[in-house]
């Protein structure tokens, strides 16, 4: 596996952290780099397996005979259900203005 994957360097760790919406200190980044490399080393045994023709198993549906992709669940009637009121959502949100959740400016000031 190691040969098929890029070297775990600072640039890759930085990119993955950004995709994960995390910022890492230099120490944290170094720790992540060494632990990712150690894990991939450990996981290298997976590349020795011949997996051609094996169907990936992403989700279990142990009740049903397979062949439906394992995604069929029980059906529910399509009827409206009671849900939480706005007051509950307000209480959970770290900042709100009345019934609205307050967020920083997204346009002209929100940055990526």
Binding site for other proteins (CB under 8 A): 1, 4-5, 13, 16-17, 19-24, 28, 31-32, 35-36, 38-39, 42-43, 45-47, 49, 51, 54-63, 73-74, 76, 84, 88-89, 91-95, 101, 103-106, 109-112
Nearer to other proteins, 11 or 73 (CB): 73
Which of 10/31 has CB closer to other proteins? 31
Which candidate, 53, 51, 71, places its Cα nearest to that of 61? Answer: 71
Taking each helix axis from N to C terminus, what angle separates 26-42 and 10-19, rounded to the nearest 10 degrees? Answer: 100
- CA-CA distances (angstroms) from residue 37 to 46, 49, 94? 15, 20, 37
Could you tell me the smallest distance in angstroms from the CB atom of residue 97 to other proteins? 13
Q: Which is nearer to other proteins, 10 or 42 (CB)?
A: 42
Residue 16 φ then ψ, to 5°:
-65, -40
């Amino acid at each position: 596996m190691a040969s098929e994957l890029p070297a775990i360097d600072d640039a890759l760790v930085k990119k993955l952290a950004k995709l994960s919406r995390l910022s890492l200190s230099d120490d944290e980044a170094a720790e992540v780099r060494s632990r990712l490399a150690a894990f991939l080393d450990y996981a290298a045994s997976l590349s020795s397996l011949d997996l051609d023709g094996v169907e990936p198993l992403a989700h279990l549906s142990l009740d049903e005979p397979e062949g439906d992709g394992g995604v069929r669940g029980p059906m529910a009637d399509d009827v409206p259900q009671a849900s939480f009121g706005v007051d509950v959502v307000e209480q959970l949100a770290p900042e709100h203005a009345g019934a609205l959740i307050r967020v920083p400016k997204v346009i002209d000031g929100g940055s990526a």
